[in-house]
Structure 1
Amino acid sequence: MSTLTLHRPSGPAPHRLSGLTWTVLRLHRTALYVWAAGLLTVVVALIRLHAAAAAHVGAVGDCDTSEPFPLTCETFPVTTAYQFYGYSLGLISACVTYLAFAVAVWAGAALIGRELENGTAQLAWTQSVTPARWLATRLAVPAVLLTAGTASAVLLTGWTYRAGKGEMIDGWFETNVFVSSGPVAVAYALAGLALGALAGLVLRRALPAAAAALAAAYVLHEALDTLRMHLWPAETITGQAPLPFPRGAMVLGGGTEPGAGGRSGIWATYQPESHFWPLQLVESGLLLALAGLATAAAFALLRRRHA
């Protein structure tokens, strides 16, 4: 009589990846709750701001500037809808712009540094989870959440900007407006995640990794903020003052040049508003390339330590 022998299937255990994903969400549920609450607050605030912008534009449109005392007509939009819209949207834009700082600190301190410091990572590696798979999951789960959440905030922010017809915010080239209204915001968040993870693997302690990640995010922001308007060829205009710049253009520089008959002309370089998307795409590409390099360095470091 033969007996039936059961063999465990070879290869990785089924649902291993989903198990690791659940572990990441459980270990970092506080950060997940904060992220969800923050995103919900931003969504609700932007919907409210959209309505406030419409109210302001409607009030301005209904204003009769020919009346003897137009100040009474201007008081309402300036003191209510205008201020609420401008200040609140400025705050939200700043939060989206500098999200990478918080992401970098969290990734360095909690996502990687603390798990290496308290032995959580090493415990996972003893349970047939390879270090590479552990790191891949630690990066993939927050990357998906950050991409989805930040992209949603960016789309809603742009929707709210357009409701105000661009008249109640700073110029498109201002840092907070530029970053918060395009894909570069998502790229910054992913770069912050990668830099924080690399800092955590290098230092293997939560607080030093958080400090290093914050410093890296700061240097990155400052460098690109300085170089941003030079990432795409600028336009040049010459003539006599005043030069007819397009609406919304950012002037980068200018000077004088000899002209015919001994007259001096002037020249200036500027970035027109039509260059918004080329500048967004170039900066996003640079950030994603940096994120890729930092991620590759993190995997290489982990592989060398556990070869």
Structure 2
Amino acid sequence: MTAVAAAPAAARRRAPLTPHGLTWAVLRLHRTALYVAGASLVAFAAAMVWLYVVGDDARAANRACGAPRAWVPSCEQFTELADSYGSVLSLTTTALSYLMFPVAAWAGGALIGRELESGTALLAWTQSVTPLRWLAAKLAVPALLLTAGTTAAVLLNVWARQDENPDLARDWYYPDVFVSTGPVAVTYVLAGLALGALAGLATRRALPAAGVGFVLTLFLYNILERSREDLWPTVEKTSNTFGGLPRSAFQVENGMVLVSGERVTGGHVCSRMPPGYDCVPDADIAGYYRAFHPPSHFWPLQFVDAAIALAVAALATATAFWLLRRRTG
């Protein structure tokens, strides 16, 4: 009898790595979002594999038919391939760089706001689960999954781009390209998750939380995008002629150096303008200057940008815990 009774108990015993408790509850409750995210990652991976496979042909077509030359019958077909390559890469890059927005809306509306509005969270708190532990599980499980998924997507994107031909893949400093090719993408998603959760705790209603989380994330995205060029010191180049920057240089500022040593940002040379326009006489110009970020500044800008987003995520998370403790303490 003892042996027979022990068998079902052993069968019911969970494996050490099997999700259980709050982790299992979070995964089960939000399994629809998990399925959608998994399917999206599979579709993204398939698109990256296609880009990698046709990448050499697309770049060869761009080199052969993009430059001024006699028309050849195969150019039309080649151009269609290059256009398709650029369109798919642009679409997937944009989707990855904007991933933080749906994450923020979901975190505010479904992850936190809906449970507070429906009373599900209060019920969980009466089942020997403290509010702080509940929130920790609510944030930790999605954070781990989003970090793993976004990291995989970024690595696939970098792999598919190969030599990053700027004529097809756009230069590294374009906002979508910059976000989707480095650790910034991961920290942006985590910031969206934290801001959405904070919005959910603040409003305690699903729909307003989704909207507030989206707006907060949009504000953060715009602030970081507009200030990105100032996150690292620029390189300056002066010369007697206007021009001479490398193809992939991220120009921040340009202007003229006067004989007096004064600098004029932008401005116009009188010899190139019709009479009556505000301009600088040619005799007063000693040279030209340009401030820019070379391609080697990609990683310093990435790390500073990612650190700011990660700090926002940490601050929003700490504020969410403080707010929950204050309301339930």
Q: Could you tell me the TM-score, scaled by structure 1's length?
A: 0.89
Contact 1:100 1:217 in 2 (8 A): yes
Provide closer, same or farther for how the CA distance between residues 95 and 34 of structure 1 changes in structure 2, counting only shifts above 3 A: same
Which of 30, 33, 37 pairs up with 2:39?
A: 37
Paired AA for residue 317 in structure 2: T
Match of 1:285 in 2: 307
Deviation per CA, 1:205-261, whole angstroms, max 9, x where unpaired?
001101100110111111111001111001111112233212300111111112498
Equivalents in 2 of 1:37, 1:218: separation in Å?
25
Contact 2:51 2:161 in 1 (8 A): no
- 1:220 pairs with 2:242: no
Contact 2:242 2:288 in 1 (8 A): no
Paired AA for residue 87 in structure 1: S
Paired AA for residue 52 in structure 2: H
Q: Per the alignment, in what secondary structure is the counterpart of residue 252 of structure 1?
A: strand
The 5 Å alignment of 1:73-152 reads 73-79=74-80, 81-152=81-152
Contact 2:179 2:185 in 1 (8 A): yes
Provide closer, same or farther for how the CA distance between residues 259 and 89 of structure 1 changes in structure 2, counting only shifts above 3 A: same
Give how far 1:284 is off: 0.2
Moved more, 17-26 or 219-228: 17-26
Equivalents in 2 of 1:92, 1:234: separation in Å?
30
Equivalents in 2 of 1:199, 1:117: separation in Å?
13
Paired AA for residue 78 in structure 1: T
Q: Could you tell me the TM-score, scaled by structure 2's length?
A: 0.83
Paired AA for residue 224 in structure 2: L
Provide closer, same or farther for how the CA distance between residues 122 and 16 of structure 1 changes in structure 2, counting only shifts above 3 A: farther
Provide closer, same or farther for how the CA distance between residues 277 and 43 of structure 1 changes in structure 2, counting only shifts above 3 A: same
Equivalents in 2 of 1:159, 1:117: separation in Å?
43
Equivalents in 2 of 1:57, 1:15: separation in Å?
46
Give how far 1:297 is off: 0.3
RMSD: 2.3
For structure 1, which runs of at least 5 residues remain unmatched after alignment?
1-13
Identity of paired residues, percent?
A: 48
Give how far 1:263 is off: 4.7
Q: Per the alignment, in what secondary structure is the counterpart of residue 104 of structure 1?
A: helix
Aligned residues: 292
Equivalents in 1 of 2:202, 2:284: separation in Å?
64
Which of 268, 275, 296 pairs up with 2:297?
A: 275
Match of 2:55 in 1: 53
Equivalents in 2 of 1:100, 1:270: separation in Å?
28
Equivalents in 1 of 2:286, 2:64: separation in Å?
46
Match of 2:286 in 1: 264
Give how far 1:268 is off: 1.2
Give how far 1:16 is off: 12
Equivalents in 1 of 2:209, 2:18: separation in Å?
29
Contact 1:50 1:163 in 2 (8 A): no
Q: Per the alignment, in what secondary structure is the counterpart of residue 245 of structure 1?
A: coil
